[in-house]
C-alpha cells in the first residue's frame, strides 16, 4: 500500500445503528477518526429481545443523520474518502438492507469503491485497529448470536475450531435474565446479580466439559436454570443472586474447558510459537468474571490475552470500516449488486455443526 486509505463504515446488522471513519496507514496501523453508535436497547427492552421490524425501522430513521455526524466528526467531505464499507451479513435481513442501500448510494453518488464486509470478520480483525495485532492468533467470539473459537491465520483466512451446537452464550445470558425478571439486555443484569450470589449453591451442568473438541452447548444449562427456579416456592432476591452466580460459574468452567482444547490445537499447528495470543470479542467479553478466568487460562498456557475496548467488542462501525480498508489495500472491492446475507460463516469450509444454524 503506497498511501493512507480512509474508509467510511456502516453497521446495521442487528440493533445498533453505527457509522465510523477509519484510516489505514502504509505501515499497516490504523486510527479511528470518528465512531458514532446509536443503541436501540430501550426500543427492544419491553419485548425482552430484538424485534427485527423495529430494528429495521430505527435504522431507516437514524442512519443518514449518524453518517453525517461521523463525517463531520472526522472533519472530512465525501471526496476525501477512499471507499465505503458496510456490514453485508450475517444478521437481520431488514437491517442489513438499510445499511447496504445507504452505503451503495454514497459509493455511487461519489464514485467510491464499495466493500461488503462480513460482520464476524469485523470482530475477528478489530485487534489490528486497537492493538496493532497481526495474525495469526486465536479468537473467541462470544455474542448474542454467535459463540465460536476461530484460528485467525490472515485477513480472509479463518479456521473454525468450535461453535455452539444450540444457543449462543449471549442468548443464554439473555434468556436466564428474562426467566428471573432481570430485564434486557441480560448479560450485564446477570453479572450484577451474580456479584452477591453463592456460586456453589446450585450444581448446574458444564455442557461438553471433558469431551474432545471445541464445540459449545448451552441449551441444557439454560434448562437447568429454569428447573432450579421452578423448584423454589418463591424466588427471592438471594435466590436470584445464587442462581446467577452458579450459572456464571458453569459458563466460565465450560469456556475454560473448551478453550483449553483449542489452545492445545492452535499451539500444535503453530509449533514455531507464533500467534500465542487469545483475542476475545463480542458483547459477552464485557463480563468481568469471564475476563478473569480467561486471563488465568492464558497465563497458565503462555498466551497473551487481548480484549478490545468494550465499545469495540459490541457491534460498531469502526470494525467494519477497518476491514473495508484492509480489503481495499489488497485491491478488493465489490459490485453494487452485492446481496445481503443473513448467514455468512467466517469459515465456509468448516464441517456442518448439528443444530447450529446461523450460529455456525
Output the DSSP codes for 292-305: HHHHHHHHHHT-EE
The domains of the chain are located at 5-131+311-346, 137-307
User: CA-CA distance, 111 to 107, in Å (whole number)?
Assistant: 6
What confidence score (pLDDT) does residue 143 get?
A: 85
Buried b (16+ CB within 10 A) or exposed e, 49-71: ebbeebbbbbbbebbeebbeebb
pLDDT tens across the length of the chain (360 residues): 568 999 999 999 999 999 999 999 999 999 999 999 998 888 888 888 888 899 999 999 999 999 999 999 999 999 999 999 999 999 999 999 999 999 999 999 999 999 999 999 999 999 999 999 999 999 999 987 889 999 999 999 999 999 999 999 999 999 999 999 998 889 999 999 999 999 999 999 999 999 999 999 999 999 999 999 999 989 999 999 999 999 999 999 999 999 999 999 999 999 888 899 999 999 899 999 999 999 999 999 999 999 999 999 989 999 999 999 999 999 999 999 999 999 999 999 988 776 655 455
How many C-beta atoms surround the C-beta of residue 272 within 10 A?
A: 5
Phi, psi of 168 (to 5 degrees): -75, 160
Q: Which cell is 268 given?
A: 500444535
What confidence score (pLDDT) does residue 273 get?
A: 83
What confidence score (pLDDT) does residue 190 get?
A: 97
Helices (DSSP H) in 23-182: which residue ranges? 41-45, 52-74, 93-109, 119-130, 169-179
On whether the CB atoms of residues 194 and 237 are closer than 8 A, the answer is no
What confidence score (pLDDT) does residue 52 get?
A: 87
Indicate the SS3 state at residue 16. Answer: strand
User: CA-CA distance, 286 to 191, in Å (whole number)?
Assistant: 10
Signed CA dihedral, 100, 123, 4, 34: sign only: positive
User: CA-CA distance, 145 to 173, in Å (whole number)?
Assistant: 11
Domains 5-131+311-346 and 137-307 fall in the same CATH topology:
yes
Q: How many residues does the chain have?
A: 360
What confidence score (pLDDT) does residue 354 get?
A: 65
Topology of domain 137-307 in CATH is Nucleotidyltransferase; domain 5 (3.30.420)
On whether the CB atoms of residues 79 and 44 are closer than 8 A, the answer is no
What confidence score (pLDDT) does residue 129 get?
A: 97
On whether the CB atoms of residues 138 and 149 are closer than 8 A, the answer is yes
Q: Superfamily for 5-131+311-346?
A: ATPase, nucleotide binding domain (3.30.420.40)
The DSSP 8-state label assigned to residue 232 in this structure reads S
What confidence score (pLDDT) does residue 43 get?
A: 84
Amino acid at each position: 500500500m503506497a498511501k493512507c486509505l480512509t474508509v467510511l463504515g456502516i453497521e446495521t446488522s442487528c440493533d445498533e445503528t453505527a457509522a465510523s471513519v477509519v484510516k489505514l496507514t502504509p505501515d499497516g496501523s490504523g486510527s479511528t477518526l470518528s465512531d458514532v453508535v446509536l443503541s436501540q436497547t430501550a426500543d427492544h427492552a419491553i419485548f425482552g429481545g430484538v424485534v427485527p421490524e423495529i430494528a429495521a425501522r430505527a435504522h431507516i430513521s437514524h442512519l443518514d443523520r449518524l453518517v453525517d455526524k461521523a463525517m463531520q466528526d472526522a472533519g472530512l467531505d465525501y471526496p476525501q474518502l477512499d471507499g465505503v464499507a458496510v456490514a453485508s451479513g450475517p444478521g437481520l435481513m431488514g437491517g442489513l438492507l438499510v445499511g447496504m442501500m445507504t452505503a451503495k448510494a454514497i459509493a455511487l453518488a461519489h464514485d467510491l469503491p464499495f466493500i461488503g464486509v462480513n460482520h464476524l470478520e469485523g470482530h475477528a480483525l478489530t485487534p489490528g485497529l486497537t492493538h496493532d495485532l497481526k495474525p495469526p492468533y486465536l479468537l473467541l467470539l462470544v455474542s448474542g448470536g454467535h459463540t465460536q473459537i476461530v484460528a485467525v491465520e490472515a485477513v480472509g483466512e479463518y479456521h473454525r475450531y468450535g461453535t455452539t451446537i444450540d444457543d449462543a452464550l449471549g442468548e443464554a445470558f439473555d434468556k436466564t435474565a428474562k426467566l428471573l425478571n432481570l430485564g434486557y439486555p441480560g448479560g450485564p443484569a446477570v453479572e450484577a446479580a451474580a456479584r452477591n450470589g453463592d456460586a456453589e449453591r446450585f450444581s448446574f451442568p458444564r455442557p461438553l466439559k471433558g469431551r474432545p473438541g471445541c464445540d459449545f452447548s448451552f441449551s441444557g444449562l439454560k434448562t437447568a436454570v429454569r428447573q432450579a427456579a421452578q423448584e423454589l416456592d418463591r424466588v427471592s432476591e438471594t435466590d436470584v443472586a445464587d442462581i446467577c452466580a452458579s450459572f456464571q460459574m458453569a459458563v466460565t468452567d465450560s469456556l475454560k474447558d473448551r478453550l483449553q482444547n483449542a489452545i492445545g490445537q492452535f499451539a500444535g499447528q503453530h509449533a514455531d510459537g507464533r500467534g500465542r495470543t487469545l483475542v476475545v470479542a463480542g458483547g459477552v467479553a464485557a463480563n468481568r468474571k469471564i475476563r478473569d478466568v480467561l486471563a488465568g487460562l492464558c497465563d497458565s498456557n503462555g498466551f497473551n490475552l487481548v480484549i478490545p475496548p468494550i465499545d469495540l467488542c459490541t457491534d460498531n462501525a469502526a470494525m467494519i470500516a477497518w476491514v473495508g480498508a484492509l480489503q481495499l489495500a489488497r485491491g478488493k472491492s465489490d459490485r453494487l449488486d452485492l446481496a445481503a446475507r443473513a448467514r455468512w460463516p467466517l469459515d465456509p469450509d468448516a464441517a456442518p455443526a448439528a443444530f447450529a444454524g446461523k450460529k455456525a
